[in-house]
Amino acid sequence: MMLLLLLLTTAAALAETEIVSNIDGTEYTISDANDWNAFCDMLTDGETFSGKTVKLGANIEVTRMAGGQDHEFCGTFDGQGYTLTFNYTAEDSYCAPFRYTNGATIMKLNVAGTITTSKKYAAGLISKAYGTTDITDCRASHLRPNERRFPQNTGVRTVEH
């Protein structure tokens, strides 16, 4: 009985920090801010999601950027029409929900929220895209990067390489 309780407690703890994936690990679903944070951690730890699909399963509010300079998102992100509310305040350049992408596809995603930074290259969806990044049926609204000081701050994407 004690072993069963320990296993159930461990499973519950893991469920709070890992995004749900299908059996073969090619599709993931993000349903809340904790899942988004786990997704961001996976990118930081070296998972690129190349050849994989990440789906948004609910409207969520987040405060972390996905991806980094050496940890680009390379997969497909399907927002399924849900809204990702991204509120971020920092003194960083390249601020967006998806900070860096490389050959990614982002589709059917609504983004709302506010980005506050005194630096340049803030965007409502992707701040820096390498390779060909496809954006389909996405909308960014109510994001107010510091556009007066830096005209490079835009609604969807700022820099492509």
* Rg, the chain, Cα only: 16
Q: Which positions ≥6 away from 138 have C-beta within 8 Å? A: 79, 106, 107, 108, 109, 110, 111, 125, 156
pLDDT in tens, the chain (161 residues): 443 333 333 333 334 456 777 767 899 999 999 999 999 999 999 999 999 999 999 999 999 999 988 999 999 999 999 999 998 887 777 789 999 999 999 999 999 998 887 777 778 899 899 999 999 999 988 655 444 444 444 444 444 44
SS3 55: strand
Domain count, the chain: 1
Q: At what angle do helices 33-44 and 2-17 cross, to 10 degrees?
A: 80
Q: What is the pTM of this model?
A: 0.79
Pairwise CA distance, residues 92 & 52, whole Å: 29
The amino acid at residue 85 is T
